[in-house]
Structure 1
Amino acid sequence: MRKQLYLVSLLGMYLSLSACSSEGPTSKTDKGYEGSRQQVQLKEKHMLDTRVKLTFDNYTVFVKMYDHPMSRDLLAQLPLTLTFKDYVAKEKISVLKKRLSSDHSQSKNQPKKGDFAYYSPWGNIAIFYKGHEVVTNDLVILGQIESGKENFENLHGDFTLTMEKTH
């Protein structure tokens, strides 16, 4: 009986806390961090001191990385050379040989021009050269292109890109 009373009180607390959120139940986005969409966006804005240098077709682009477990996982895999292709006339994508550890992160991101992201269902890196009107739970923004995002717009066909860490 005491156990049942305890479980009922825990359920009541959970329901009352869930009701306070304007967006319904929250999702895990970072080691023990839980929060609404607004809180997730604020958390992802924290930047690492590390940049990723993207080199392709005589262009160099720098990406400032967000402080996120998946960003750190990608950094641990660098340097990488990948082949990218165009996808839906808004992004360039390439499947990683080794998937990033997702810890079932969900972020409800709406990608915008210059986002450097990871799409967990396919295990691919995405570089957005145009905004995207679709919000997805499976896209995690890993970083933001600081300069040269316009270089991706005029690339046609597949291209090879080298990624390496810089400071």
Structure 2
Amino acid sequence: MWPRVIGASGPAWGQGTEKPFMKFEFAFSGQMFTATLLDNPTTRDFVSMLPLTLKIDDYSTNEKIAHLPRKLTEAGSGIFGNEAPGDIAYFAPWGNLVFYYADYHYWPGLIRLGRLDGGITPLLTRGQFPLTATLAG
């Protein structure tokens, strides 16, 4: 049984089928921030790998990416809506985490894992950095 976040707040996600699951923390470039994860099989697979140390880097004009040591299950896949800056997703074709800091649209192979709790400011730091991911505790 996975722990659940009780009374998690934040923007509503999707069509009411996505539910808050747990909190985790990221740190890079001297900044720490938290995110609320969604309860789906892909997220649970990601959590099973924590703690992680990865590299986060700029990609495109609206996201940062970090490559995972292995691919995650795609059992949590499906079309979703209400895309917003601050979303964290898994891009199955490449096996990487995606951190959106600007508008984006759903794309096949993209599985939403959660959303940043305190806004996108940490993601605006340009460059490549070591990234740590741990369960919030």
TM-score by length of 2: 0.83
- After superposition, residues 49-60 of structure 1 pair within 5 angstroms as 50-60=22-32
Give the corresponding residue for 1:122.
94
Structure 1 stretches of at least 4 aligned residues deviating more than 6 Å after TM superposition: none
How far did residue 106 of structure 1 move?
2.6
CA deviation string 1:41-71 (max 9, x = no partner): 3212x111x2110011111110001111111
Greater share of helix residues, 1 or 2?
1
Structure 1: which 5+ runs fail to align? 1-39
- After superposition, residues 52-91 of structure 1 pair within 5 angstroms as 52-91=24-63
Which whole-Å CA distance do the structure 2 matches of 1:123 and 1:66 have between them? 18
Give the corresponding residue for 1:139.
110
How far did residue 104 of structure 1 move?
7.4
State the identity as a percent. Answer: 30
TM-score by length of 1: 0.69
Give the corresponding residue for 2:136.
166
Give the corresponding residue for 1:157.
127
Q: Which has the larger radius of gyration?
A: 1
Which whole-Å CA distance do the structure 1 matches of 2:56 and 2:109 have between them? 20
Change (3 A) 1:143 1:108: closer
Task: Give the total of aligned pairs.
Answer: 124
SS in 1 for 2:65: strand
Q: Provide the aligned C-alpha RMSD in A.
A: 1.7
SS in 1 for 2:127: coil
SS in 1 for 2:48: helix
Structure 2: which 5+ runs fail to align? 1-13
Q: Any conservation in 2 of the 1:60–1:148 contact (CA below 8 Å)?
A: no
Higher relative contact order (CA 8 A, sep 6+): 2
Counterpart amino acid of residue 82 in structure 1: L
How far did residue 84 of structure 1 move?
1.1
